[in-house]
Chain A
């Protein structure tokens, strides 16, 4: 029993990170109907920003941790907005395939730029322990402070996102653009502003995800986003692409299942299992767990 709970806890903290990244994929898909393949590299940049700011701050304090988190989120938000403005916006009326290929291009550009010796280099670097580290024993459970930070920060950010999307004017505008961009323009929504905001918001969450990931797997390198990014992408589709609660749910499911598989005798298949779940779910629910085919009245 306690082993089950332990694995569940480990799984939820991994899943929370997938969820944060998946939210960015799903929000961008919601407003632009394309997959931003550079998103996983924004996640990586978040961790690298954390690496540099962390080295200039006293280690092991809550203050340093929060500053690192804020720096990564702000830096990534800016990066996301710049990517959209210069790579995707000129292609706004181009076929989706062109934008998709451009997204792969932006992804490679970020990866190779950071692999350059003068920028970061290809070698993995140790992420500084910015937050204080403690281990708690609770019953038979071993809980690390990092796990609590991951789950706490991710939950807080998701609540904040829920608030922004459902209770603010710009959030309602995001949903309106996602439902019908033309109608949104006709009530006076500036689509460019909403799209920039969406990229900023999604990228900030990826930046936070980068820091939280690096706290638990403290090795930072320019290709670190590839695998978590792919998993988060699957999580977004699993939950129903374009659906915000779906992305969060998909991330948690994927993280939990992956953790249980790695703790079992099939641990070598832990990465393949993500795809297996995806195939099974899509067979039965092609629009994802929470996704639905919208029917419009004519």
Chain B
């Protein structure tokens, strides 16, 4: 569904990605794990069109999207829930969701998507008229995911959904991510520092290290890999 080939990205003179390649199959959950500065966020930003690669190719559903502007990539059903959530903090929850449906024109579909978001995150319905900036970290993450779901995604990229969230909410959010994938058939590319959690729910994993893919494989197997265990899973 998504194929990234030999992607190079740099910030000025500093190389952030030095030739990474990976694939995400339709219907699966794939995770990118790795430490700080490994290039996980850069990868997602380049795929969603916020950053331009120096070289390499990105194809989505068989179409080359490497040079498309971000808003046209979203229109193809590839939605990105960015790091730090980036909700519109001065807008209400309702307006945030409406912005998520910016490219949707069918009111019936939009209403159905709203109901779907509320069925996953009932908390959002209670907070509808509240300014998004006043939500708790966990609620903001729910809103960020909900906003992306309003865009009718076929493919969802999640950047650190567990970051800055109360531990008890993390498991809820991860259950919902699995539900979005299993029940609604949305393919997911998950970036996480919490490697344990990410490997638990994903089918395939890529491990990034300073802009390169250091290791890849079935998540089940990687969880028991001694080297990976020592580096990321705390022994």
Residues of A within 8 A of B (CB): 169, 172-173, 175-176, 179-180, 182-191, 294-298
Q: Would B82 and A182 count as touching, CB distance under 8 A?
A: yes
CA distance A188 to B147 in the complex (A): 11
Main secondary structure on A side of the interface with B: helix
Kindly state the interface size class of chain B when it binds its partner: 20 to 34
**In chain B, what residue has the closest Cβ to A185?**
B70
- Let me know if A182 and B50 touch, CB within 8 A: yes
Judge whether B190 is part of the interface by a CB distance below 8 angstroms: no
In the assembled complex, the Cα of A266 lies from the Cα of B192 at a distance in Å of 66
Contact A189 B102 (CB under 8 A): yes
Could you tell me which residues of chain B, from 18 to 60, have a CB within 8 Å of some CB in chain A? 48-50
Q: Are A298 and B164 in contact (CB under 8 A)?
A: yes
B11: shortest Cβ distance to chain A, in Å? 13
List 9 A-B pairs, minimum CB-CB distance, nearest first. Answer: A183-B86, A188-B103, A185-B70, A188-B74, A190-B71, A188-B102, A188-B71, A179-B88, A187-B102
Listed stretches B89-97, B117-125, B179-187, B203-211; interface member: B89-97
**Alpha-carbon separation in the docked complex, A183 to B91 (Å):** 13
Contact: A183 with B88, CB < 8 Å? yes
* Cα-based distance from A298 to B87 in the complex (angstroms): 11
Complexed CA–CA distance, A295 and B134 (Å): 10
Given known contacts A185-B50, A186-B82, A187-B147, A297 and B90 CB-to-CB distance under 8 angstroms? no
Contact A176 B71 (CB under 8 A): no
Q: Does A172 contact B98, Cβ atoms closer than 8 Å?
A: yes
Contact indicator B100/A187 (Cβ below 8 Å): yes
CB proximity to A under 8 Å, residues B156-215: 164
- Which residues from chain A contact B147 at a C-beta distance below 8 Å? 187
List, sorted by A's number, 13 A–B pairs whose CB atoms are closer than 8 Å: A172-B95, A175-B91, A176-B99, A179-B90, A182-B86, A184-B88, A185-B71, A185-B74, A186-B50, A187-B102, A294-B89, A297-B89, A298-B164
How far, in angstroms, from A3 to B133 measured CA to CA in the complex? 47
